[in-house]
């Protein structure tokens, strides 16, 4: 049964859950429910099982100074309409434990491990309590996300251990890969267990580029926070900083000028195109189609230098600001974009024609790295990976921001869940992006670029979702005095990494690079 209006959602709760609700409030499309700690897991399971909601994030904030408790926020998005539900529970500072959501909702796994090492909140009943990022000689009992942790004091190194999953049996070999890889990519550790060629287990260990961005953000004034959010994951810096700006703007109630909304849309799509070109080129390269790879890389380079001509930055950095944008696209800029896009489209058509008809390439990508729609649903994947496994989710359409509401575009959907499907989703998204930029250029009204945002009240919560080229990114900000009290970043890669362990299963080791490339996940965005 699909839920009706959001109010009914609270009224329709089963009596056992209804009795645990402390308070609930509805503001625009955002329903907030506070429940007692013992009912948090039940409520979350109800949201997923009964309302078919998607898990967006599960994170905590340290509010012991205010009311002696940690707050746990579990955020969901309703499948139809743009409704967001936040279920909140207070966990007493003297007893920092709660019932784990993971036995019911597998996607909560990494979130709870993250909260455990950051805040020392123990999820009872969680099947895997190994640290997620602070495994390397990190002393126990030091929780960096707590407010009483001082980041300027160096944390001592103590001997620690980390248990990998072991697969044993006759003829089974273990292949450790990384963190320093053969290619120019980010560091991460992959541990394969193989029986002959096929992979029978893959364990991904991330965290090598963990810096402590969320903690750093709590010390940076909002305008500096924009700079930081551009550097969470460099290649989708624009959409990350956009989410951060939108979160702050929603706290301040700022009215972003129309022109800035259109510009933000155009820049978001320019970022998507150069990244998708890189992914498509990567798939071509890993299937030994060098010509195609170079064609795609040339197109990517053309987009990067277009970015530079228009904004002064190849990565669209320093374009976003709180309240709007800093860079305008004037008439000559518009002409330059439209000429470039026409040329790009023609060349891209050539490339796509070759890639989709080349038997040697198709042979490598079809049925490789399958992620079934069931697995994709349970793992709660987002972005092109979800859309290649039959999950029809796109933040731009489902939770429209910037100017997406006024523009028309379609969301490509494939059901095969293999490398081929992910490649096709990305190819079609490039074409949609080109059309979105053209529409935005046509309809962009004249006007201001940036609204003045002066009053960001303390103690309020702002949240924003944006669709990066990897999928949905979330920025959640609880405001403090001139800077965030708590800033939670959820990169799409954080949801998608566990899926690669599933997709690789049963494939041969030489196919791992192409599977990895079709996922193209961010290590930096995941590790924060």
Binding site for other proteins (CB under 8 A): 133-136, 138, 144, 149, 151-152, 155, 179-180, 182-187, 207-213, 215-216, 219, 227-228, 231-235, 237, 278, 294, 297-298, 300-301, 304-305, 314-315, 317, 522-524
Nearer to other proteins, 46 or 327 (CB): 327
Q: How far is the CB of 209 from other proteins (least distance, A)?
A: 5
Q: How far is the CB of 263 from other proteins (least distance, A)?
A: 21
Residue 84 structure tokens: 């967001």
Nearer to other proteins, 395 or 493 (CB): 493
Residue 20, C-beta contacts closer than 8 angstroms, at least 6 positions apart: 35, 36, 38, 39, 42, 43
Q: How far is the CB of 337 from other proteins (least distance, A)?
A: 16
For residue 138, how many other CB atoms are within 10 A of its CB?
17
Q: How far is the CB of 521 from other proteins (least distance, A)?
A: 11
Nearer to other proteins, 301 or 406 (CB): 301
- Each residue of 253-277: b (16+ CB within 10 Å) or e? ebebbbbbbbbbbbbbbbbbbbbbb
Residue 116, C-beta contacts closer than 8 angstroms, at least 6 positions apart: 122, 123, 126, 129, 131
**Alpha-carbon gap, residue 74 to 290, rounded angstroms:** 45
Nearer to other proteins, 136 or 363 (CB): 136
Nearer to other proteins, 235 or 429 (CB): 235
Instruction: Please report, in angstroms and rounded to a whole number, the separation of the first and last CA atoms in the chain.
Output: 38
Q: How far is the CB of 443 from other proteins (least distance, A)?
A: 30
Q: How far is the CB of 437 from other proteins (least distance, A)?
A: 20
Residue 86, C-beta contacts closer than 8 angstroms, at least 6 positions apart: 30, 31, 32, 33, 73, 74, 75, 76
Strands 30-35 and 21-27: antiparallel
Q: How far is the CB of 210 from other proteins (least distance, A)?
A: 5
- Structure-token match 């942790």, residue found: 149
Residue 2, C-beta contacts closer than 8 angstroms, at least 6 positions apart: 52, 79, 80
**Alpha-carbon gap, residue 223 to 218, rounded angstroms:** 12
Q: How far is the CB of 180 from other proteins (least distance, A)?
A: 5
**Alpha-carbon gap, residue 39 to 16, rounded angstroms:** 9
Answer whether the bond into residue 501 is a cis peptide, omega within 30°: no
Nearer to other proteins, 98 or 143 (CB): 143
Nearer to other proteins, 312 or 353 (CB): 312
**Alpha-carbon gap, residue 185 to 18, rounded angstroms:** 49
**Alpha-carbon gap, residue 446 to 241, rounded angstroms:** 24
Longest dimension (CA), the chain: 70
Nearer to other proteins, 31 or 299 (CB): 299
Going by C-alpha positions, the residue among 438, 227, 253 that lies closest to residue 320 is 227
Nearer to other proteins, 43 or 209 (CB): 209
Nearer to other proteins, 211 or 452 (CB): 211
Q: How far is the CB of 13 from other proteins (least distance, A)?
A: 40
Q: How far is the CB of 308 from other proteins (least distance, A)?
A: 8
Strands 320-321 and 69-77: unpaired
Going by C-alpha positions, the residue among 438, 477, 437 that lies closest to residue 460 is 477
Q: How far is the CB of 8 from other proteins (least distance, A)?
A: 44
Residue 23, C-beta contacts closer than 8 angstroms, at least 6 positions apart: 33, 34
Going by C-alpha positions, the residue among 402, 375, 389 that lies closest to residue 320 is 402
Q: How far is the CB of 133 from other proteins (least distance, A)?
A: 7
Nearer to other proteins, 206 or 437 (CB): 206
Nearer to other proteins, 81 or 212 (CB): 212
Residue 280 structure tokens: 């498509």
Residues in the chain: 528
């Amino acid at each position: 049964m699909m839920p009706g209006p959001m109010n009914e959602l609270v009224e329709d709760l089963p009596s056992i859950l209804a009795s645990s609700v402390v308070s609930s409030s509805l503001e625009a499309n955002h329903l907030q429910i506070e429940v007692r700690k013992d009912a948090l897991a039940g409520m979350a399971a109800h949201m997923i099982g009964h309302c078919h909601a998607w898990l967006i994030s599960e994170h905590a904030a340290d509010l012991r100074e205010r009311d002696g408790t940690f707050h746990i926020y579990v955020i969901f998005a309703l499948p139809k309409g743009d409704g967001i539900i936040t279920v909140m529970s207070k966990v007493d500072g003297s007893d920092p434990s709660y019932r784990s959501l993971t036995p019911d909702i597998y996607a909560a796994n990494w979130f709870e491990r993250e909260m455990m090492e950051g805040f020392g909140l123990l999820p009872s009943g969680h099947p895997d309590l190994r640290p997620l990022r602070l495994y390397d000689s990190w002393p126990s009992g030091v929780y960096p996300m707590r407010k009483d942790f001082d980041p300027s004091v160096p944390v001592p190194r103590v001997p620690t251990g980390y248990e990998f999953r072991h697969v044993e049996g006759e003829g089974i070999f273990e292949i450790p890969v990384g963190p320093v890889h053969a290619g120019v990519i980010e560091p991460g550790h992959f541990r394969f267990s193989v029986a002959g060629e096929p992979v029978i287990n893959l364990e991904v260990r991330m965290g090598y580029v963990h810096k402590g961005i969320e903690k750093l953000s709590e010390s940076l004034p909002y305008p500096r926070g924009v700079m930081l959010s551009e550097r969470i994951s460099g290649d989708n810096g624009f959409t990350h900083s956009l989410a951060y700006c939108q979160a702050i703007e929603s706290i301040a109630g700022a009215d972003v000028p129309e022109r800035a909304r259109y510009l933000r849309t155009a820049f978001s799509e320019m970022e998507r195109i150069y990244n998708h070109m890189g992914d498509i080129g990567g798939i071509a390269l890993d299937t030994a189609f060098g010509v195609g790879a170079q064609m795609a890389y040339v197109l990517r380079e053309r987009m990067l230098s277009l970015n530079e001509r228009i904004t002064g930055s190849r990565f669209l950095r320093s374009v976003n600001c709180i309240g709007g944008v800093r860079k305008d696209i004037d008439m000559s800029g518009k002409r330059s974009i439209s000429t470039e896009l026409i040329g790009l489209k023609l060349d891209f058509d050539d490339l796509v024609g070759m890639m989709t008809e080349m038997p040697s390439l198709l042979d490598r990508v079809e049925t490789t790295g399958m992620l079934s729609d069931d697995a994709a649903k349970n793992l709660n994947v987002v972005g092109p990976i979800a859309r290649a496994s039959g999950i029809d989710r796109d933040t731009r359409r489902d939770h429209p921001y910037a100017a997406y509401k006024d523009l028309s575009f379609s969301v490509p959907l494939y059901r095969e869940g293999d490398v081929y499907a992910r490649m096709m989703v990305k190819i079609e998204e490039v074409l949609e992006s080109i059309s979105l930029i053209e529409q935005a250029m046509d309809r962009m009204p004249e006007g201001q670029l940036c609204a003045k945002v002066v009053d960001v009240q303390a103690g309020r919560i702002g949240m924003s979702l944006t669709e990066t080229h990897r999928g949905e990114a979330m920025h959640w900000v609880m405001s403090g005095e001139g800077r965030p009290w708590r800033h939670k970043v959820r990169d799409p890669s954080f949801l998608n990494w566990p899926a690669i362990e599933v997709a690789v299963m049963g494939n041969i080791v030489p196919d791992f690079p192409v599977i990895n490339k079709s996922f193209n996940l961010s290590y930096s965005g995941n590790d924060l």
